[in-house]
Amino acid sequence: MSEKGLDNTKVIGDQLAENINKIKGLDGKNILIFGSPAASHSLLSQGLIDEFWLFVNPVLLGNGIPLYKGVTETTKLKLVETKTFSCGVIALHYETDH
């Protein structure tokens, strides 16, 4: 499954749950999304996210795009692992409880 010039990449424009569940059923590794709040919001609202990797950066910002804007239901998370990098970044790995 790939788009022109992008190995192991599938662009999904509609029928999000159906397409994601089809990909989840295939052999292979995890589906990853980096830095896309809009895509994350859509996937989270449909219960399609199994894990979160959150990176805490040692920078304070006055504003930005909220990671969970518009999320109306509670999603319980289980902390699986943490990792601290020498630059001060902390990675938090969570699994969803669904």
Whether 7 has a pLDDT exceeding 80, the answer reads no
Instruction: For residue range 33-48, list pLDDT tens digits in order.
Output: 776 777 787 888 888 8
Residue 85 has pLDDT above 90, yes or no: yes
Helix residue ranges, H only, 12-55: 16-24, 37-45
| 24-80 tens-digit pLDDT | 888 887 887 776 777 787 888 888 888 989 999 998 888 877 777 767 778 889 999
Sign, CA dihedral 21-92-81-32, equals positive
Q: Whole-model pTM?
A: 0.71
